[in-house]
Copies of this chain bind each other. A is one copy, B any other.
Amino acid sequence: MVSSSGTESRRVTIHDVARSAGVSRQTVSRALNDKDEIDGATKQRVLDAARELGYRPSRFARGLVRQDTTTIGLVIPDLLNPFFTEVAAAALEAARARGWHVVVYDTADRAEEEFGTLQVIASQVDAVVGYFSCSEQDLERFTRGLPVVLIGREHHTGRFSSIRIDGEEGVHTAVAHLVAAGHRHIGMLDHDGRAEPSVRREWFATAAAAHGIAADRVVGAPQSADGGGTALRKLLGTHPEVTAVFTFNDIIAIGALREARRLGRSVPEDLAVVGFDGLQLGTLVEPPLSSVALDTRRLGALAIDQVARLLTGLEPLGADDLVVRAQLRLGGSA
């Protein structure tokens, strides 16, 4: 009745159930998998015994003999960040089209978690795709033998592939748009997560330089709407002349939008805002967010496609094909 909770617990196998029900393994298998060639009464007896013993089949043994589908592991920093869920949804969709599984992990935006996640994932999936901030050496160490596709991160060595996010042109267009609207003092709310300035900031800097305006009005912001809000206040505090801001991403932009309203600045008249990512979320706020938009569906599909090539031994896509370009999409905030 009570499942034996001995001090240590050897696994309950199909054999135990068979013995308990007085039949053979195969008959147990038949009962559990709802196959023919089994008497109704016997089946019930087996099912009861299985429940009694708390038996649950080993998915490994089953998968081993049934040659089951491939599973790819998707690692993202934060499931609560809509950008990553959009990517994840895209990857899921692309994987489903191939009949594959996707295991989603988030690393809670902490680098330490990446190791644990990788270690744990390595024996569970056939390939890994995702965002990582750890070194390639560490990646190499924890993903022994698995194909790996990196997103939004340069350089790939050995069996790694990486999908590059190219926002240079998009950011250039965005700055051009702001300048054309008469803005001369454009600030930026960067992501303060990593130590070095972000690539997006560099894009901003070169775009600004191309238009002959300064790009030194930059404030770091945490990865959240609240963070964007406080960062905007800080920026406007030190640089009151700013009339437009470009942000690291849409989350921060939305926070800035909200904060602008609280400060009594109307958007886009008193303050123009341009985000990055092009989240669906940006269309929900008022005014709808202008953003340098990324095609997340393509991003996910591309990642899965590359994984497929690596897995099947086809010729993998080269760096030139593994690019997703971001384009300015106007809402009303700029």
Contact: B144 with A33, CB < 8 Å? yes
Given contacts A60-B60, A60-B63, 18 further A-B contacts (CB under 8 A): A34-B144, A55-B145, A56-B146, A57-B145, A59-B123, A63-B63, A63-B124, A68-B124, A69-B120, A71-B103, A80-B89, A85-B85, A92-B105, A101-B105, A255-B284, A258-B284, A285-B286, A286-B286
Q: Which residues of B contact A331 (CB under 8 A)?
A: none
Contact: A80 with B124, CB < 8 Å? no
Interface size on A, residues (CB 8 A): 69
Q: Which of A59, A105, A125, A286 has the most CB of B within 10 A?
A: A59
Contact: A71 with B124, CB < 8 Å? yes
Can you name the residue of chain B whose Cβ is closest to the Cβ of A68? B123
How many angstroms from the CA of A86 to the CA of B79 in the assembled complex? Answer: 8
How many angstroms from the CA of A67 to the CA of B159 in the assembled complex? Answer: 28
Q: Give the residues from 132 to 165 in chain A that come closer than 8 angstroms, CB to CB, to chain B.
A: 141, 144-147, 159
A260 smallest CB distance to B (angstroms): 11
Contact: A313 with B5, CB < 8 Å? yes
Contact: B144 with A59, CB < 8 Å? no
Q: Give the residues from 244 to 262 in chain A that come closer than 8 angstroms, CB to CB, to chain B.
A: 254-255, 258, 261
Check: A205 CB closer than 8 A to any chain B CB: no
A101 smallest CB distance to B (angstroms): 6
A108 smallest CB distance to B (angstroms): 7
Check: A11 CB closer than 8 A to any chain B CB: yes
Q: Which residues of B contact A106 (CB under 8 A)?
A: 89, 92
Can you name the residue of chain B whose Cβ is closest to the Cβ of A3? B313
Contact: B284 with A123, CB < 8 Å? no
Check: A64 CB closer than 8 A to any chain B CB: yes
How many angstroms from the CA of A135 to the CA of B80 in the assembled complex? Answer: 30
Can you name the residue of chain B whose Cβ is closest to the Cβ of A81? B85
A76-113 interface mask toward B, CB cutoff 8 Å, 1 = contact, 0 = none? 00111010011011001100000101111110100000
Q: Which residues of B contact A23 (CB under 8 A)?
A: none
How many angstroms from the CA of A254 to the CA of B135 in the assembled complex? Answer: 41
Q: Which of A104, A312, A313 has the most CB of B within 10 A?
A: A104
How many angstroms from the CA of A89 to the CA of B68 in the assembled complex? Answer: 27
A23-49 interface mask toward B, CB cutoff 8 Å, 1 = contact, 0 = none? 000000000111000000000000000
A215 smallest CB distance to B (angstroms): 28
